[in-house]
Chain A
Amino acid sequence: MPATTVNATRMELTKLKGRLKTAVRGHKLLKDKRDELMKQFMDVVRENRAMRRSVEEALMRAHSAFTVASALMSPEVLEQSLLYPKQSVDLEMSFRNIMSVNVPLYTFKTKSDNPSEIYPYGFATTSGELDDAVKALAEAFEGMLRLAQIEKTSQLLAEEIEKTRRRVNALEYVKIPQMQENIKYITMKLDENERSATIRLMKVKDMILKQALEQKMAEDALALQAMQA
């Protein structure tokens, strides 16, 4: 018996067969999609790991440089020096399509391209260590932006893979077997109906023959009696 009740009709059977065909085709396509996504994802995630490691290292260098700088300067002066940035960053975002997943692509424009122009303070009151710290941070920044792009990509891809994987599994292990079972059930039911119809016809035919025979015999008996009388 199938899990759900189905009408054992020929129309239902045709409909189910059509749906099964679609499901099988969909399953194949989704499986291909999943495999390709997985391949892309592995590349992205490997890069993500490497990027994250290098960015974290660079940032830690910058942080420790800042710690040194702040030890040499009073917090007020340090804050004052960093208060009005010379540099500004404009971020542009476009999209790339990986297997119908939109992932961001960041491009950024800085106000000044000259790396020596980022220091927003006069050199008289600040220590040289602060310069180092700012330089280290500026160097880390480009990596940070690349990290943002690649990490977001990997997150979005992971979500899409999860979704696709679920669909593939649902089709493979639930939907398709269910439909196959329903089709089998209907086919058997229809065959059974056909057989019972044949048997019924045979029975009826027998009954009619028997009746005709009895009638004939009765007629014969009557005729015999008439002849003897």
Chain B
Amino acid sequence: MYNIAVLGDRDSVMGFKVLGLDVFPVEHAEEARTTLHKLAKENYAVIYLTEQLAPSLEAEIHRYKDELTPAIILIPGKEGSLGIGMANVSRAVERAIGADIL
């Protein structure tokens, strides 16, 4: 049995509580980093992370990219999509094929 976590600023993630997901509101990047590491060690298969936090957690996201769990998935925060999630998809293509052919 696995859990799903949502990590981000309070206003962006609050709503997910209603769906029964585990919500971890964080104030700044440092807090997000420690929380992310803690969650990765625990029983979380999917961690949703707001794109607003993604740039400062680049190294952590990269670290878990090749592991089976957790899957760190970027979602747009309240302020809107920054296109980082989409850019990551293109990055995966580039990594696999050598050029972004889509």
Contacts and interface: CB of A to CB of B under 8 A. Distances in A.
A59 B49 CA distance: 13
Contacts of B95: 158-159, 161-162
Contact of A91 (B3, B12, B77, B81): B3
B65 interface: yes
Interface in A153-172: 154-159, 161-162, 165
B66 A156 contact: yes
Size category, B interface: 35 or more
B71 A60 contact: no
B78 A67 contact: yes
Nearest to B6: A144
A154 B89 contact: yes
A52 B92 contact: no
Interface of A is mostly: helix
Given A147-B73, A158-B92, 17 more contacts: A46-B102, A49-B89, A59-B75, A59-B76, A62-B15, A63-B77, A85-B18, A87-B18, A91-B4, A93-B45, A95-B68, A119-B18, A134-B18, A144-B73, A156-B66, A156-B68, A165-B98
Contacts, number: 138
Contact of A49 (B77, B81, B86): B86
Contacts of A133: 15
8 contacts: A38-B97, A46-B102, A55-B75, A59-B76, A60-B76, A82-B14, A92-B2, A141-B19
Interface in A9-66: 38, 41, 45-46, 48-49, 52-53, 55-56, 59-60, 62-63, 66
B96 A52 contact: no
